[in-house]
């Protein structure tokens, strides 16, 4: 202890960085699981619309008529709308999660390069951020970019 301040061992901060990275990686894995489940929905929609197109082509050929445009049907299909929304959300979350992992790696690198005094000073603001990342981060935190500099234990 120096001048009434609590010193946090640097190895504890380094461990917290590692645990925060692991936590973010687990969130990324959960997002990937969501994306994989969307692939099943995508295949079901593909089969549904392939059948619809084939039926339309067959009917047009049999009746010597024009093939109908199914683009409006696609735009209004609740399954397609939900799939598109879920897919966009998951890919956005995954992108933000990956960007944040890169930020976290950069912060760790800067922390390691700092002098002893800089590391002690940095540990005071890093502790609540890393604790939050270790214990409370979720997929929903990545609906928008997560700002490490503004992050605190009570976002």
Per-run averaged pLDDT (10 residues), the chain, 155 residues: 54 87 93 94 94 91 85 89 95 95 90 85 85 89 89 57
Report how far Cα 149 is from the mean position of its chain's Cα atoms: 18
pLDDT of residue 152: 66
Q: Is the pTM of the predicted complex or chain greater than 0.85?
A: no
pLDDT of residue 118: 85
pLDDT of residue 2: 46
């Amino acid at each position: 202890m120096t001048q009434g301040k609590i010193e946090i061992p640097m190895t504890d901060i380094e461990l917290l960085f590692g645990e925060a990275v692991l936590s973010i990686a687990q969130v990324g894995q959960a997002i990937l699981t969501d994306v994989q489940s969307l692939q099943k929905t995508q295949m079901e929609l593909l089969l549904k619309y392939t059948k619809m197109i084939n039926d339309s082509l067959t009917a047009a050929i049999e009746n010597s008529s024009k093939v109908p445009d199914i683009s409006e049907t696609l735009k209004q299909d609740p399954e397609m709308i939900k799939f598109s929304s879920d897919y966009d959300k998951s890919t956005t979350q995954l992108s933000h999660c990956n960007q944040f992992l890169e930020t976290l790696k950069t912060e760790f690198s800067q922390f390691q390069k700092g002098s002893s005094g800089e590391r002690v000073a940095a540990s005071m603001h890093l502790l609540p951020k890393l604790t939050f990342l270790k214990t409370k981060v979720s997929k929903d935190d990545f609906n928008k970019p997560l700002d490490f500099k503004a992050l605190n234990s009570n976002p």
